[in-house]
Chains A and B, each alone.
Chain A
Amino acid sequence: DGGITQSPKYLFRKEGQNVTLSCEQNLNHDAMYWYRQDPGQGLRLIYYSQIVNDFQKGDIAEGYSVSREKKESFPLTVTSAQKNPTAFYLCASTDSNQPQHFGDGTRLSIL
Chain B
Amino acid sequence: DQQVKQNSPSLSVQEGRISILNCDYTNSMFDYFLWYKKYPAEGPTFLISISSIKDKNEDGRFTVFLNKSAKHLSLHIVPSQPGDSAVYFCAAKFTGGYQKVTFGTGTKLQVIP
Partner-B contacts on A (CB < 8 A): 4, 6, 9, 30-31, 33, 35, 40-45, 48, 50, 58, 90, 92, 94, 96-97, 99-105, 107
Contacts and interface: CB of A to CB of B under 8 A. Distances in A.
Contacts of B41: 9, 104-105, 107
B25 interface: no
Contacts of B42: 104-105
Contacts, number: 55
B103 A43 contact: yes
Contacts of A50: 97-98
Binding site of B, secondary structure by majority: helix, strand, loop or mixed?
loop
A64 B61 CA distance: 40
A45 B100 contact: yes
Contact size range, B: 20 to 34
Nearest to B43: A102
Interface string B36-52: 10000111111001000
B44 A31 contact: no
Contact of B49 (A99, A101, A105, A107): A99
Nearest to A35: B103
A107 B43 CA distance: 11
A30 B98 CA distance: 9
B104 A42 contact: yes
Contacts of A44: 103
B112 to A, nearest CB: 23
B96 A97 contact: yes
Interface in B12-65: 32, 34, 36, 41-46, 49
A104 B43 contact: yes
Contact of B89 (A30, A43, A97): A43
